[in-house]
Structure 1
């Protein structure tokens, strides 16, 4: 992050960055799950790749400007351990949440015809928000927590590694592979979210959109909705804290 850049510019980067992530990531989910698309039933590898690229592109665009947090868990974890000012946390989180909703709206607009063709409400909701495969909040929380701790600790270790001191762009490229690998390795139980805004923003949009837009939308499953918020927030505290305690002095 460049603290010399005006806050409003950095907020715009956070808004656009997470919107790009959702357009590519949830767009990949829509391509796989919605009937009639050319990628229908193409599989989990497509979704994992979509999310890896969806994180990598804004990281390379905005990593040197806003820090490319695009994740309230990361923003709050950084603030809790002294890497980011608390005074800017609310603005960052709001920008991230609104950006996630805007990105999801673009996914809906592009795929409206295919939402009409898809009658399974879980397939529809899965293009917005996460669902635990075992219908277990406990299993979902554990998977999201493990994934989030890994994401945040590894992201800091990569971007602050002496190996990339003269090549920060290569470090941000590595973040895409990190997310790609996490979705492949730990994403099966939940989706995954690993990001409160990535789940909450689109889930709110799912709730708000009328059936004239989403004819088969079904429930927004708010009984599970707290899991992909709470687990990544705790994961941010633990992940950033773990990095700080082990490598923060380097």
Structure 2
């Protein structure tokens, strides 16, 4: 596959993944949304189907990595050239930012209604001495639409949760669809991967929100920091390294396990 195919496939597929995945969170969380309070089950299935759409579209072009942890695992496994890894990851990050921006475009009215609601504004923590409260370090009230955050802040537990969840995702992908020729997931492989994501969300998503994808978390977090949202609060940069580093570790472990144990 050409570099152009990789770029287009990963940008398009990851943008669709984040548009639909972030979109389901926005629908469930934001005020004045018809899907408000639909719950964790809707979010888990929404993310699973988002993966299915993004992967199905990008598989013929780029192999449907859509995730730096998957790209790293495939480079370790041997199905992806190491020289292509920066292109894959850069394209995924760009696609994730585009998808997050489109979520904001689609839900502009709901973001405004949510962030100007007196109850939401009153609940926002304030940092003494900080003039611009939008730069406060705490996670803002709509950050969860864009990126993940832990329910219990414990670095070791948060890291382990993301490593384990990413390992499950990546080992499932390696063992049921991606081949050495780089042709990517077939239709059945895309469907299986989607349901693996649903399973991870339902079983392992509770502690951290299951980033399991560095681009999925970092790209939208950057967009959250840049968007002109009133009363949006902070982007929680003190936590942001965990959903980047931990999935990469999980992906590397899965690639090594596949090479040394399963083949």
Instruction: With the length of structure 2 as denominator, give the TM-score of the two structures.
Output: 0.86
Q: Tell me how far apart the structure 2 counterparts of residues 15 and 160 of structure 1 sit (CA, whole Å).
A: 19
CA, structure 1 residues 61+102, in 2 after alignment: closer, same or farther (shift >3 Å)? same
Displacement after TM superposition at 1:139 (Å): 2.3
Q: Tell me how far apart the structure 2 counterparts of residues 160 and 114 of structure 1 sit (CA, whole Å).
A: 39
Q: Which residue of 2 is the match for residue 226 of structure 1?
A: 241
Task: Report SS of the residue matched to 1:225.
Answer: coil
Q: Which residue of 1 is the match for residue 224 of structure 2?
A: 206
Task: Report SS of the residue matched to 2:60.
Answer: coil
Q: More displaced, 29-38 or 120-129?
A: 120-129
Q: More displaced, 54-63 or 176-185?
A: 54-63
Task: Report SS of the residue matched to 2:238.
Answer: helix
Task: Report SS of the residue matched to 1:244.
Answer: helix
Task: Confirm or deny that 1:153 pairs with 2:171.
Answer: yes
Q: Which residue of 1 is the match for residue 126 of structure 2?
A: none
Structure 1 ranges of 4+ moved more than 6 A: none
Displacement after TM superposition at 1:85 (Å): 0.6
Displacement after TM superposition at 1:116 (Å): 1.3
Q: Tell me how far apart the structure 1 counterparts of residues 113 and 207 of structure 2 sit (CA, whole Å).
A: 26
Q: Tell me how far apart the structure 1 counterparts of residues 153 and 234 of structure 2 sit (CA, whole Å).
A: 14
Task: Report SS of the residue matched to 2:75.
Answer: helix
Counterpart among 235, 240, 244 of residue 255 in structure 2 = 240
Task: Confirm or deny that 1:66 pairs with 2:62.
Answer: yes
Q: Tell me how far apart the structure 1 counterparts of residues 212 and 253 of structure 2 sit (CA, whole Å).
A: 13
Task: Report SS of the residue matched to 1:188.
Answer: coil
Displacement after TM superposition at 1:181 (Å): 0.8
**Contact 1:100–1:202 (CA under 8 A) maintained in structure 2:** yes
Kindly report which structure 2 residues correspond to 1:71-90, keeping only aligned pairs within 5 A, or say none.
71-90=67-86
Q: Tell me how far apart the structure 1 counterparts of residues 61 and 194 of structure 2 sit (CA, whole Å).
A: 18
Task: Confirm or deny that 1:53 pairs with 2:49.
Answer: yes
Displacement after TM superposition at 1:81 (Å): 3.2
Q: Which residue of 2 is the match for residue 110 of structure 1?
A: 106
Q: Which residue of 1 is the match for residue 14 of structure 2?
A: 18
**Contact 1:132–1:139 (CA under 8 A) maintained in structure 2:** no
Q: Which residue of 2 is the match for residue 216 of structure 1?
A: 231
Counterpart among 198, 205, 228 of residue 187 in structure 1 = 205
The CA deviation string for residues 23-62 of structure 1, in whole angstroms up to 9 with x for no partner, is 1111000001111100001100111011100111122222
**Contact 2:28–2:38 (CA under 8 A) maintained in structure 1:** yes
Specify every segment of 5 or more residues in structure 1 that has no aligned partner in the other structure, as ranges: 162-166
Q: Which residue of 1 is the match for residue 96 of structure 2?
A: 100
Q: Which residue of 1 is the match for residue 155 of structure 2?
A: 137
Q: Tell me how far apart the structure 1 counterparts of residues 194 and 114 of structure 2 sit (CA, whole Å).
A: 30
Q: Tell me how far apart the structure 2 counterparts of residues 205 and 60 of structure 1 sit (CA, whole Å).
A: 25
Structure number with greater Rg is 2
Task: Report SS of the residue matched to 2:207.
Answer: coil
Instruction: With the length of structure 1 as denominator, give the TM-score of the two structures.
Output: 0.90
Q: Which residue of 1 is the match for residue 194 of structure 2?
A: 176
Q: Tell me how far apart the structure 2 counterparts of residues 230 and 209 of structure 1 sit (CA, whole Å).
A: 25
**Contact 2:140–2:235 (CA under 8 A) maintained in structure 1:** no
